[in-house]
Amino acid sequence: MRSISGSTLQRFACDTEPTRALPWVPSRAARHCCRRAAVCAATSSPTNASPTQQDSSTVLPPNPWSFGFQCNERYLDWDTSAQIALIKIWLAQKMEITVPEVEEQLNELANLLPDLVGKMERARADVLYELIKDQAATAERLLALRELLPRCNVSALVAGHPRLMLGMTVPEVRHKVQELRAQLPGVDVDALISQEPMLLRADLPRLMSELARLMPNADPVRLIASDPQMVLDMDVAGMPSTLELEGVGLEQGQQ
């Protein structure tokens, strides 16, 4: 058996001895930053100091890495005020005016359409732009609609379906109202439009002929008057309104 010399054992023991960690010596820049942090802590009242530090006459500086805070996204609430603020900023940039001037325009619009006040944070910015860019034209359109539909809440109608009202001219609305009154005798057309404004977009002769074909023993006029949502097809009643809520314009919904 081969013997191991004493020098080899001594060298092996040195190699297997645990390495001792040297004490950390901060650099000059690190010491300078610590001194700056201590001075800032001494001249201010940090919120993260302990009660002993806050109550004592000698304020002990906290650790430099304890300054600052974190703001977690789960504690942030996107409320309606933030949404309205963004809409106002966009309108101000679009109209090349200031935000206070936009607020004045929105206040005037609220006087014309009081039912729109509680829906402005959910309204599309481009729809509000179409309503406030020419207040005189908007007022004339609302006045004409009130003359055509005297027993209808025009404010609620426009606030609930702004795309429908903006996409149709006053002569087109007048023609549709006259057609409804002629084809639906004995029916309160104003109340019917208030219940289902999408009737203004429906092809009434085709709708009545289709109802007569599907239900020959039923009265089409009574069916339309009793449940207008049921007789309208998806293209007229469902799709455009759904797309409008999801951010797609009425023009794209018709395609």
Note the pLDDT tens digit of each residue in 106-115: 999 999 889 8
What single-letter amino acid sits at 94?
K
Neighbours of 130 (CB within 10 A): 16
Residue whose structure tokens are 């009660």 = 51
According to the model, what pLDDT value does residue 121 have? 78
Give the span between the Cα atoms of 44 and 228, in whole angstroms: 70
What does DSSP assign to residue 238? T
According to the model, what pLDDT value does residue 228 have? 83
Model pTM score:
0.57
According to the model, what pLDDT value does residue 54 have? 47
According to the model, what pLDDT value does residue 80 have? 65
Distance of CA 23 to the CA centre of its chain: 57
According to the model, what pLDDT value does residue 223 have? 87
According to the model, what pLDDT value does residue 92 have? 92
Phi first, then psi, for residue 76 (nearest 5°) are -95, 140
Name the token pair of 10: 């001594």
SS3 content of the chain, % helix, strand, coil (to 5): 70, 0, 30
Neighbours of 180 (CB within 10 A): 19
Residue whose structure tokens are 């201010």 = 44
According to the model, what pLDDT value does residue 129 have? 92
According to the model, what pLDDT value does residue 64 have? 59
Give the span between the Cα atoms of 46 and 201, in whole angstroms: 65
Residue ranges, the chain, pLDDT below 50: 1, 9, 12-25, 44-54, 56, 239-255
